Amino acid sequence: MKRLLIAAVALWPLVNSQAGDWRGYVEFEGTVFFEDPAYAEQSNSDLSIAAEPEYIREWNNGDDIFTFKPFYRVDQRDNHRTHGDLRELSWIHAADDWEILAGVGKVFWGVTEAVHLVDIVNQTDLVESFDGEEKLGQPMIDLSLIRDWGVVDLFILPWFRERTFPSEDGRPRFAIPIDKNDPIYESGAEQHHVDFAARWSNSIGAWDIGLSYFYGTSREPRFVIQPTAIDPVTGTVSETKPLYEIINQASIDLQAIYGSWLWKLEAFTRGGQGDRFASAAGGFEYTFVGVRESAIDVGIIAEYLYDGRDDEIGSTEIMPGTPFSTSPFQNDLVLGTRITLNDMQSTELLVVGIIDLEGNGQTFSMEASRRVGSNWIVALEGSAFSNVPENTSLASFKKDSNIRLKLTRYF
């Protein structure tokens, strides 16, 4: 991170002396929790402010692009959520049948709504949002070869980004706070391990297809509980440490469009974290266009989630020193609706419920947003957990149902 900031400062004169374009946002956020917290360090509310400016300069008729996008957040309660990141600092060059991106960048792979299984290049910025949709900038070289039979992307990922985790004051957080400062690496090279990825993607008629392979440090860690001290009163004091192992992962993402139907599938098989396992998500989104002769679109989302791993966190059987994973969606059904008003204010509503088919509770999320004036977006987000049993990874969050108001000024 420090190096990246130094690089950013070094590039500043370039940014400042040339004609380019600034854009970005400043966001004000307030969160209220419905129940008293599960852990004494947590609070019933939180205020936060974040900014993400972006500088873009194009030359050679848009065939060369320089992008600089820093991010910073200040959080009232959680000092881990008060953090900065270099989201992007990259140069893109486009030629006739190839493109290259060098620097810090972000790529997205995948099609499904509730989970993003195959999206592996960038690390999750978990303190930003618990749904895992926010990502940290990833140093990379991405060479795209553009052919008649599809696009091949070859990635070299020379520096590993560690996942962010909430502090003891953060909410929601895991029951045993994760010690992000002292992770365990399988590779002796630790963050210097050079990771590789390759992807072929193509659009054939109604189909969008992607096949990907990744070899390197797993973005998703397993965890290990380590005793760190003996307390005379409470006995052994333990810490949960992230364990970053070297994995190989092959994945597929598929999407087909037929009229108002969007069919989606994502699946991967991963080796390197204990036994090889597979994970999959698939389903559809059907859109009723212009319901009752209005401009309003109503989409129905249904997905099934499968994960070959056991959900071990929260289990009393976790032995100190034995790696375990946090994967709440073994056998779950996703049902949701997306309502788009298509009005001048771009009003939208998305409600999604994830129902554990083995009786391990339900999680709900809601996102509503609307433009106010020409430069502000007001958004209301909610999440709720219900009927969550003790022995699941969601148990740590069962008192954390909340509602969040976001006011974002775009410029």
Partner 1 sequence: MTPARILPALLLCLLPVCVHAETAEEKALAIAVEADNRDSGFVDYTNDTQMILRNKQGQESIRVIRSKTLEVDGDGDKSLTIFDEPNDVKGTALLSFTHKEGPDDQWLYLPALKRVKRIASDNKSGPFMGSEFAYEDITSQEVEKYTYKYLRDDSFDGMDVFVFERYPVDKKSGYTRQIIWMDKEHYKERKIEFYDRKDTLLKTLLFTDYNQYQDRFWRAHQMDMENHQTGKSTRLLQSNYKYGTGLRERDFDQNSLKRAR
**What 3-state class would DSSP assign to 268?**
strand
- Does residue 47 touch partner 1 according to CB under 8 A? no
- CB of residue 169 vs partner 1: minimum separation in angstroms? 28
From CA 170, how far away is CA 31, in angstroms rounded? 12
* Minimum distance from residue 260 beta carbon to partner 1 (Å): 4
160 three-state secondary structure? coil
Name the residue with tokens 């900038």. 137
Residues 394, 312: contact at Cβ < 8 Å? no
Reduced to 3 DSSP states, what percent helix, strand and coil does the chain have, rounded to the nearest 5?
5, 55, 40
Yes or no: say if 249 and 223 are a contact pair by the CB < 8 Å rule.
Answer: no
The stretch near partner 1 (CB under 8 A) out of 56-64, 231-239, 309-317, 391-399 is: 56-64
19: amino acid identity, one letter: A
Q: Which two tokens stand for residue 67?
A: 């992008």
Q: Is 314 helix (H, G, I), strand (E, B) or coil?
A: coil
Q: Is 5 in the site for partner 1 (CB under 8 A)?
A: no
Determine the interface stretch with partner 1 among 9-17, 93-101, 353-361, 388-396 (rule: CB under 8 A). 93-101
Q: Which is nearer to partner 1, 93 or 192 (CB)?
A: 93
Strand partners, 198: 154, 213
Applying CB under 8 A, which part among 221-229, 312-320, 342-350, 396-404 lies near partner 1?
342-350
- Asked whether the beta carbons of 385 and 303 are under 8 A apart, the reply is no
The reply on whether position 344 binds partner 1 by CB under 8 A is: yes
Give the x-and-dash track for 212-241 against partner 1 (CB under 8 A).
Answer: ------------------------------
Residue 403 burial class via C-beta count within 10 angstroms: exposed 0-12, middle 13-18, buried 19 and up? middle
Tokens, residue 223: 């965890």
Question: Does position 374 bind partner 1 by CB under 8 A?
Answer: yes
Distances (CA, A) of 326 to 130, 196, 261, 268, 392: 13, 25, 32, 17, 9
The one among 8, 26, 51, 107 contacting partner 1 by CB under 8 A: 107
Tokens of 78: 């959680």
CB of 290 to partner 1, least distance (A): 5
CA pair distance 377, 374, nearest whole angstrom: 9
Nearer to partner 1, 375 or 386 (CB): 375
- 255 makes contact with partner 1 (CB under 8 A): yes
Residue 346 binding partner 1, by CB under 8 A: yes
Closer CB to partner 1, 233 or 344, in the complex: 344
> Quick one: 238 or 409, whose CB is closer to partner 1?
409
Q: What's the rounded Cα separation, in Å, for the pair 80 and 170?
A: 8
Binding segment for partner 1 (CB under 8 A), chosen from 37-45, 88-96, 239-247, 272-280, is 88-96
- What residues contact residue 136 under an 8 Å CB cut-off, 6+ apart? 85, 87, 122, 123, 124, 125, 161, 164
Give yes or no for residue 260 binding partner 1 (CB under 8 A). Answer: yes
Residue 320: strand, helix, or coil: coil
Which tokens is 105 given?
Answer: 């960048």
- CB nearer partner 1, residue 99 or residue 179: 99
Please identify which residue in 6, 12, 23, 390 interacts with partner 1, judged by CB under 8 A: 23
Q: Decide if residue 72 touches partner 1 (CB under 8 A).
A: no
CB of 239 to partner 1, least distance (A): 34
Q: Does 62 bind partner 1 (CB under 8 A)?
A: yes
Nearest approach in angstroms of CB 374 to partner 1 is 5
What whole-number distance in Å separates Cα of residue 375 and Cα of residue 345?
A: 11
List residues near partner 1 by CB under 8 A: 21, 23, 25, 56, 58, 62, 65, 92, 94, 96-97, 99, 106-108, 133, 144, 146, 151, 201, 203, 208, 255, 257, 259-262, 287, 289-290, 293, 295, 297, 342-346, 371, 374-375, 377, 408, 410-411
